[in-house]
């Protein structure tokens, strides 16, 4: 059972005294909660002990709000790597602020947190329904993005100088940590600025959030690459199609792409270590038996087999060696050594996948994420991220969301399903 001390309490700037301008809307009551656990046995433990089980706030519009829309100024920032749906989320936030609440002073800060630092010289864009009207048709983020930390005090200075009331931060783990630090500095200064996060991680690895935007699109695009790899493998004697997908620490894209396209014979993810020798032996047996094979590897898989780079990127992440190139070369070397013909095609679609527009499923999800972020911000909720859990949109404290990384459980149902789909050995250590 999960940690029983989970605290899903959400910080608020003050009491909501202003009647919401939303009309004909189904309002969410502050007392509405969604129980975190879904196993009745886990829930029963709390009740038997006379305790309430951990529960998240349900997202949605409230009858009363904290900020006066006529006086409110908002900011939006996108950070980190690209992801399908970024422009959809920006558009949804702007449209909701304008049309739901009548808050028409919205600014887009350029190139991530750099946009909040004056010496970079990035002039904020004034965002209107017209300026964001069709941005959802394009991939990437029209606000630009960047990685790496910036001076927290300078960023809060900018927010204070511009009289920003709500800052919407769209990004992954590093962005959320930065948003948390901004929120703490805002609180230290006694300012009334709400910091609301929208989780952007194509790897779907933010804890206490079952789905992040762009993940479904990434799976669909990855499936196309896998289909191509399968065609290449089938078109040659002892053909091998090798596909490297995104997933530094969590293999969700690789796993779900494999489940969506069960032509894959080996799925390698960071959470499940493997021995090169055992893998190559299993691949050899597969080729002798069927004459072709498809291998999918997440970028963080097998890093124990490579020499550490000891380098870090701008976000502070350890730079990984390329597991795709490593496997490509080792596979070729192995079959050359045993004198067996093998034809390998290597495909790395990473930058293509992350830069495409969101598909219909993700686009609708982005719209609802953006709307719920605005609803949360208007009520003065802060240092929180909009989540999704058990088919409901929720509020999650940022410190809790970044407390650990969500990963595939090697003993769980998802990985068991992958093993069943691929037929690969359950243990390749």
- Indicate if 329 belongs to the active site: no
> What distance lies between CA 191 and its chain's CA centroid?
29
In order, the DSSP letters of 137-169 are GSSS-TT----S---HHHHHHHHHHTT-SEEEE
List all residues 6 or more positions away from 47 whose beta carbon is below 8 Å from its beta carbon.
53
Whole-angstrom CA distances from 253 to 160, 214, 295, 302 are 40, 10, 14, 16
Nearest to 59 by CA among 318, 389, 412: 389
Do residues 318 and 311 lie in contact, with contact meaning Cβ atoms separated by under 8 Å?
A: yes
Interatomic CA distance for residues 223 and 22, integer angstroms: 41
User: Backbone dihedral region of 7: left (phi > 0), alpha (psi from -120 to 50 degrees) or beta?
Assistant: beta
Token output for 364: 């609708």
The angle subtended at Cα 268 by Cα 408 and Cα 308, nearest 5°, is: 95
Catalytic entry in 173, 203, 359, 362: 203
Helices 252-260 + 215-234 axis angle, to 10:
60
Q: Where are the alpha helices (DSSP H) in 238-349?
A: 252-260, 276-290, 323-337
Token output for 50: 């006379």
Interatomic CA distance for residues 375 and 369, integer angstroms: 10
Nearest to 92 by CA among 400, 388, 399, 386: 386
- The continuous run of DSSP H or E covering 98 comes out as none
Residues belonging to the active site = 203
């Amino acid at each position: 059972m999960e940690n029983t001390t989970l605290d899903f309490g959400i910080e608020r700037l003050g009491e909501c005294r202003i009647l919401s301008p939303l009309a004909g809307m189904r309002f969410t009551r502050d007392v509405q909660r969604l129980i975190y656990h879904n196993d009745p046995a886990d829930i029963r433990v709390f009740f038997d002990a006379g305790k309430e089980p951990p529960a998240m706030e349900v997202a949605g519009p409230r009858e009363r709000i904290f900020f006066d829309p006529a006086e409110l100024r908002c900011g939006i920032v996108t950070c980190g790597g690209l992801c399908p749906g970024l422009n959809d989320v920006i558009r949804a936030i702007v449209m909701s602020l304008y049309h739901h609440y009548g808050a028409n002073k919205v600014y887009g800060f350029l190139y991530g947190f750099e946009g909040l630092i004056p010496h970079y010289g990035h002039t904020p864009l004034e965002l209107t329904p017209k300026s964001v009207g069709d941005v959802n048709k394009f991939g990437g983020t029209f606000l630009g993005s960047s990685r790496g930390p910036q001076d927290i005090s300078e960023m809060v200075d900018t927010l204070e100088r511009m009289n920003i009331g709500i800052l919407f931060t769209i990004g992954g783990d590093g962005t959320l940590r930065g948003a948390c630090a901004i929120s703490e500095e805002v609180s230290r200064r006694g300012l009334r600025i709400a910091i609301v996060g929208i989780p952007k991680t194509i790897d779907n690895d933010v804890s206490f959030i079952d789905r992040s935007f762009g993940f479904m699109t990434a799976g669909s695009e990855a499936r196309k690459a896998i289909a191509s790899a399968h065609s290449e493998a089938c078109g040659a004697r002892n053909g091998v199609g090798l596909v490297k997908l995104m997933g530094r620490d969590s293999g969700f894209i690789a796993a779900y792409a494999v489940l969506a396209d069960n032509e894959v014979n080996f799925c390698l993810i960071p959470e499940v270590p493997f021995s090169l020798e055992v893998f190559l032996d299993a691949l050899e047996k597969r080729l002798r038996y069927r004459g072709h094979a498809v291998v999918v590897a997440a970028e963080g898989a097998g890093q124990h087999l490579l020499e550490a780079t000891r380098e870090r990127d701008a976000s502070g992440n350890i730079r990984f060696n390329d597991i795709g190139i490593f496997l490509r070369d080792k596979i070729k070397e192995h079959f050359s050594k045993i004198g067996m013909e093998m034809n390998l095609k290597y495909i790395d679609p990473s930058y293509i996948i992350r830069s495409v527009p969101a598909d219909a499923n993700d686009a609708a999800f982005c719209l609802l994420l953006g709307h719920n972020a605005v609803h949360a911000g208007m009520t003065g909720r802060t240092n929180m991220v909009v989540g999704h859990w058990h088919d409901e949109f929720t509020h999650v404290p940022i410190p809790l969301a970044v407390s650990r990384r969500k990963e595939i459980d090697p003993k769980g149902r998802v990985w068991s399903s992958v093993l069943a789909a691929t037929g690969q050995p359950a243990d390749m250590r």
